[in-house]
Amino acid sequence: MSDHHIKRLVIMRHAKADWPGGVADHERPLEERGHREAPLAGKWLVKHSILPDFILCSSALRTRQTCTWVCSELGDKAPTPKLEDGLYAASALRMLAVVNHVPDTVTTLMLISHMPGVQDLAMHLASRDSNHDAYMDAATRYPTSALTVLETEKSWAELDGQDARLTKFKVPRAH
């Protein structure tokens, strides 16, 4: 694979959310641990030079707050996120349909959304030549703030299934 043709998809589950009484699911905020761990995901992306040039974020409060923390770590390299109602409580195939409409000028796409869709999408897209350990980690657990990095030579519109190499799976944790 020649580097200039590679597209990267970063799939992130929102950070740890609170469950306050009387609050609609869509409006659930991050809890204290979520506010500590969401920036760590941004730090990890910067450390590994995985800088999204486009971010699609579910419109739910907890994903928007996660996105704000990630972008604060990306600093002036952070793109303006696009809030996407269609990513809230979406299935993997619904998320994929959103990804399929991303313009091919985007080389590193980040998607911040919810379980089980984020894990299902990562597993759906992961090809047979994926990093085995990263694949197994993503398949068996997908905790809050988890990040999956996939690489593909295909255009976003062509992404379908088992056509992106899962290269990394990271769960940033505050110590």
- pLDDT tens figures, 88-113: 999 999 999 999 999 999 999 999 99
Contact call for residues 149 and 50 (beta carbons, < 8 A): yes
- Domain spans, the chain: 7-170
* Mean predicted lDDT score pLDDT of the chain: 95
- 12: β partners: 112, 147
User: So what's the pLDDT on residue 43?
Assistant: 97
Rg (C-alpha) for the chain, rounded Å, is 15
Residues whose CB is less than 8 angstroms from the CB of residue 126 and which lie 6 or more positions away in sequence, other chains included? 135, 138, 150, 162, 164, 165, 166
DSSP state of 77: G
How many percent of the chain have pLDDT more than 90? 94
Which whole number is the average pLDDT over 38-51? 97
We find that the CATH architecture of domain 7-170 is: 3-Layer(aba) Sandwich (3.40)
User: So what's the pLDDT on residue 174?
Assistant: 74
Contact call for residues 108 and 146 (beta carbons, < 8 A): no
